[in-house]
């Protein structure tokens, strides 16, 4: 199973925000849209980086309330780890575990085509495991 199947189920919508916007703007979008990450853009780059809930917490912890008025570019993760549509679900899970990240942008032909979260990956693994168990049960019963 690959990431393309996850995106087929959940969709390919990617929320973006300009990296010159204030950190408080990113927080508002994260909260209003109930997401954990935004892709950041700039005039030069369609994907300048990402800003995650963890990045926000780190910014506030290190800089306090004044961070809210600073640009997202001061706190975003530039050059995030990415995967492709053909990355397997197991590979995505391994990357997330090894790098200790919860979201991976999916790149296809040089463009972002979706985001997968650790929740998406775990859900898919559970579905695959349940399907395998059912197939084995059926095989055992029918011989």
* 55-107 per-position pLDDT tens digit: 999 999 999 999 999 999 999 999 999 999 999 999 999 999 999 999 999 99
Task: Report pTM.
Answer: 0.85
* 3 state SS of 98: helix
Contact by Cβ (8 Å): 86, 114: no
Predicted pLDDT of residue 143: 64
The token pair at 135 is 């197939």
Predicted pLDDT of residue 127: 84
Among 1, 26, 16, which Cα is nearest to 113's? 16
Predicted pLDDT of residue 128: 80
Predicted pLDDT of residue 137: 83
Pick 3-142's CATH classification: 3.10.580.10, 2.60.40.1110, 3.30.450.20, 3.40.605.10: 3.10.580.10
């Amino acid at each position: 199973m690959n990431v393309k199947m996850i995106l087929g189920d959940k969709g390919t919508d990617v929320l973006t925000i300009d990296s010159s916007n204030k950190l408080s703007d990113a927080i508002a979008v994260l909260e209003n849209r109930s997401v954990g990450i935004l892709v950041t853009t700039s005039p030069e780059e369609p994907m300048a980086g990402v800003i995650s809930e963890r990045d926000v917490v780190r910014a506030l912890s290190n800089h306090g309330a004044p961070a809210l008025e600073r640009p997202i570019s001061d706190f975003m993760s530039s050059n995030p780890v990415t995967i492709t549509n053909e990355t397997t679900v197991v590979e995505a899970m391994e990357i997330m575990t090894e790098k200790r990240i919860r979201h991976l942008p999916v790149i296809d032909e040089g463009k972002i085509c979706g985001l997968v979260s650790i929740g998406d990956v775990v859900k898919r693994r559970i579905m695959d495991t349940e399907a395998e168990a059912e197939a084995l049960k059926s095989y055992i019963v029918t011989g």
